[in-house]
Structure 1
Amino acid sequence: MRNSSPRFTSFTLPYNLTLDQPYRHSFSAFEPDGDSLVYRAVQPATGSLVTPSCGTPIPYVFYQAGQFQDPTTGQMISYPAGQFSTAFPVLSFQAVNGVAVPQYNLNATNGELLTTPVAQVGDYSVPVQIDEYRQLNGTWTLIGQVTRDIPYGVRNPSTNRNPTISSLQVTGAAAIQPVDQPVLVRPGQSVSLTLNATDPMQARPCS
């Protein structure tokens, strides 16, 4: 059976992430054989020249209790002490009705990662594994895996704030396209998008 491994479509790193600001990062991959892909978080591993397979798991450490600021309301929210894990490798919380809820949302279908780093600046290791499945004799069978481990750097909010997209105009559309909705196009159709945004560090519109 011939097989080609999935290929990551972007190698952009999520550098200079800002505390208390939501971020999206894409682990999206292309599979040339048309196999089905499933994205999942895995434990980071290390190796050396003696063990180049990088098969030694890195143990997760504990983090202390603390507070973060809700980027929407400005309210200070407390969170308890805990331990990092495969499902929670970054100190990332969102405020839900005044309560800190762990936030590490990895979409198993398309590889989109949504986090809101809080409280502590530093560097984290965020690995994601892609499992490749193919239907053989009527049964979905795991035929390959590929892993990408990226550095996740979190910095102080005094150096940067995220811009906010205020509107999205699609050429030929009758109305403004909602910024949080997919843009629907037909095969072969040319698409022109205009994004309008504001940056709180610049205090002026940008596009």
Structure 2
Amino acid sequence: MRTTTRFRWLAALALWLGPLLAAHATHLLGGEITYAPVASTTVGVPRYHVITRLFRDPNSSADSPVITLYCNRGSCAATTAGNFTINVVRSQDSSISSLGCAGTFPRIYKVSLYETDVDLPTGQWTLSITEANRAAGLINMPGSVYNTLYVSTYLDNSLAAQDSSPRFLSTLLPYLCNNQAQRYSFSAFDADGDSLRYEFRLPEMSTSFSVPVVSGCGTPTSSTLSPHFMLNSATGALTTLPAPSIQQGIYVMAARVTEYRRINGSWQPIGYVTRDVTYVATGSTNQNPEFTGLRLNGAATTQPLTQLIRVQPGQTVALALEAADPDAGQALRFESQAPGVIPGLNLQTTGATSALLT
């Protein structure tokens, strides 16, 4: 009788752990959800095009050709009236190789897109996904491989029916070389001209431990905020924190961009987007290049890089940029993904150490 009980217990344990153990191979590196209004197909009901972006480790054999998008109004409980889910098929899968640190192997990862249109009647909506599981060995998240990846986006279309979420300017994952100035930010573009505020958040996981997940609720993981970066609340720029040394490895950080709109004379929060990403901290003898000068609209003299540039709506601005590399014999390359996000933005290389941003 004791043997029978033991085998029943082992079988139950295997059934409970099975989904988690199988999920180890997924190695999710991050994600985000964005939205934009599209033509309504039902009178009086706003309709949105929703894009979910997942960052994945290409060395994993696991795949997610279909994800579940949770659309919750008011409460995240599955039983709340009006809440619904929709299965979304992957529309695009691409590989990206980051430059990384000199003398190290480039970081290669996949970016998967999942796109769908949804009707969201007037209310306060939270759009979310839960995918299993996170990458193993994240230094600032103990037991990361046992945590699901939960990301959410919020919109209040009772205040602003015609609203596009902020869009991040880059899909490149961050990296850190010997605590030097980094080459990444959480800066975003808002097509409606809403005011944006940036803040760090603890990465989240689903509150549901069942498989499949039965609710769209999230909760902070047992992790810490990034130990390496400060986040500018007005611009989304990341600045490295001074430290004599860093522990090399993979870390996780999450940031939220909240948009505010002036409605009836007061600023109201109308939505937010959360991005959850991992980054690599590694050692390198290379020194990062730096911008050394900026000339505004053909000015004869440069101005400080930190000086505020005031621009009026519709005004054309030209920024002549100069850069230098402290390591002898290094060639510079100017590159940005922002022109693919901000209409009319252009970056042109004008010399070996110069570029023009208009």
Shared fold (TM-score, shorter chain, > 0.5):
yes
> Does the residue aligned with 1:13 lie in a helix, a strand or coil?
coil
**Is 1:50 equivalent to 2:212 in the alignment?**
yes
1:164 aligned partner: 290
Q: How far 1:24 moved relative to its partner?
A: 5.3
1:36-115 paired onto structure 2 within 5 Å: 36-47=195-206, 50-51=212-213, 53=216, 55-60=218-223, 84=224, 89-92=225-228, 104-115=229-240
The structure-2 alpha-carbon separation of the partners of 1:24 and 1:105, relative to structure 1 and needing over 3 Å to count, comes to farther
- Identical positions, percent: 33
Q: How far 1:54 moved relative to its partner?
A: 6.9
Deviations 1:40-98 (A, max 9, x none): 111101348633747142102xxxxxxxxxxxxxxxxxxxxxxx3xxxx2232xxxxxx
**Matched-pair contact (CA < 8 Å) for 2:257–2:272:** yes
**Is 1:13 equivalent to 2:189 in the alignment?**
no
Q: How far 1:148 moved relative to its partner?
A: 0.8
How high is the TM-score relative to the length of structure 2? 0.40
The structure-2 alpha-carbon separation of the partners of 1:42 and 1:5, relative to structure 1 and needing over 3 Å to count, comes to farther
Of residues 141, 144, 148, the one that matches 2:275 is 148
Deviates more, 1:45-54 or 1:147-156: 45-54
Distance in 2 separating the partners of 1:178 and 1:150: 31
**Matched-pair contact (CA < 8 Å) for 2:174–2:183:** no
Distance in 1 separating the partners of 2:194 and 2:319: 31
Of residues 115, 120, 125, the one that matches 2:247 is 120
**Is 1:31 equivalent to 2:167 in the alignment?**
no
Q: Which structure carries more relative contact order (alpha carbon 8 Å, separation 6+)?
A: 1
**Matched-pair contact (CA < 8 Å) for 1:24–1:115:** no
Q: Pick the structure with greater CA Rg.
A: 2
Deviations 1:115-139 (A, max 9, x none): 2474211111111112233344444
Name the aligned partner's letter for residue 220 of structure 2: P
**Matched-pair contact (CA < 8 Å) for 1:5–1:144:** no
How high is the TM-score relative to the length of structure 1? 0.63
**Matched-pair contact (CA < 8 Å) for 2:205–2:219:** yes
The structure-2 alpha-carbon separation of the partners of 1:120 and 1:193, relative to structure 1 and needing over 3 Å to count, comes to same
Of residues 256, 259, 284, the one that matches 1:129 is 256
Q: How far 1:164 moved relative to its partner?
A: 3.0
Deviations 1:169-202 (A, max 9, x none): 5563122333343456775546251413024264
Distance in 1 separating the partners of 2:166 and 2:282: 30
Distance in 2 separating the partners of 1:9 and 1:28: 6
RMSD across aligned positions (CA): 3.3
The structure-2 alpha-carbon separation of the partners of 1:53 and 1:156, relative to structure 1 and needing over 3 Å to count, comes to farther
Gaps of 5+ in 2: 1-157, 333-351, 354-358
> Does the residue aligned with 2:184 lie in a helix, a strand or coil?
strand
2:304 aligned partner: 178
Distance in 2 separating the partners of 1:171 and 1:33: 26
The structure-2 alpha-carbon separation of the partners of 1:124 and 1:3, relative to structure 1 and needing over 3 Å to count, comes to farther
Name the aligned partner's letter for residue 59 of structure 1: S
> Does the residue aligned with 1:165 lie in a helix, a strand or coil?
strand
Name the aligned partner's letter for residue 181 of structure 1: Q
Q: How far 1:143 moved relative to its partner?
A: 2.6
Distance in 1 separating the partners of 2:272 and 2:331: 46
Count of matched residue positions in the alignment of Structure 1 and Structure 2: 168
> Does the residue aligned with 1:6 lie in a helix, a strand or coil?
coil
Deviations 1:122-165 (A, max 9, x none): 1111111122333444443333221111222111123x321133
Distance in 1 separating the partners of 2:294 and 2:165: 32
**Matched-pair contact (CA < 8 Å) for 1:168–1:195:** yes
> Does the residue aligned with 1:26 lie in a helix, a strand or coil?
coil
